[in-house]
Structure 1
């Protein structure tokens, strides 16, 4: 659980590779929230999901790897993702099963 400390909290999604910020913030300011137990939630645009993840060692760097299930415009979707904490930012990639994927950058808000 010690490794989870670097990831736990609420993070504001400030950039995505595939979607512009207007889409990311369409319904609510885009975010990813990770609890100390590895569960959480995210939303960007019309995509939202519940997260179940674990901190894993990837080389010399801890990495948060997660699966998720949720909705995209009220259609059920699921996927996976990963993130690393670097210089006060969360950088990673989120994947929708058999659909899009995008890198993201987020800053901690709480």
Structure 2
């Protein structure tokens, strides 16, 4: 696995909507977010779920497997996040032997990871 030359997705993203859950559920414990690291690792948290991500990259997309806990139950799955034309990302989040959710996330301005490079890429 390698990190892409352009860090378009690396950083912290605020999950703002989902097709299966309302905003109240997404932000149940803390503001829903996904963190995409440059070290093939990341995190996602929404509702009562928290998970670690193992990432692989392409220039405008990341693919991941994940493992974590939801209300003390161990859960796993896989997914991907893709950069959209409006600068947001669309996350496909699949539970092993379970539901698939589509989430949308927006860049968190307070995120400093690769923010300068990312803004230049989106403006170009």
TM-based fold match above 0.5: yes
Give the Å deviation of 1:98.
1.2
Kindly report which structure 2 residues correspond to 1:1-110, keeping only aligned pairs within 5 A, or say none.
Answer: 1-3=3-5, 5-56=7-58, 62-86=60-84, 87-109=86-108, 110=111
Cα distance between partner residues in 2 of 1:105 and 1:48? 17
Count of residue pairs brought into register by the alignment: 106
Give the Å deviation of 1:46.
0.9
Decide which structure has the larger Cα Rg and report it.
Answer: 2
Q: Which is richer in strand? A: 1
TM-score (norm 1): 0.90
Unaligned 5+ runs, structure 1: none
TM-score (norm 2): 0.80
Give me the CA root mean square deviation.
1.4
Q: Deviations over 1:45-93 (max 9, x none)?
A: 0111000011137xxxx32110000001110000001011122211121
Question: Which SS does the other structure have where 1:88 is aligned?
Answer: coil
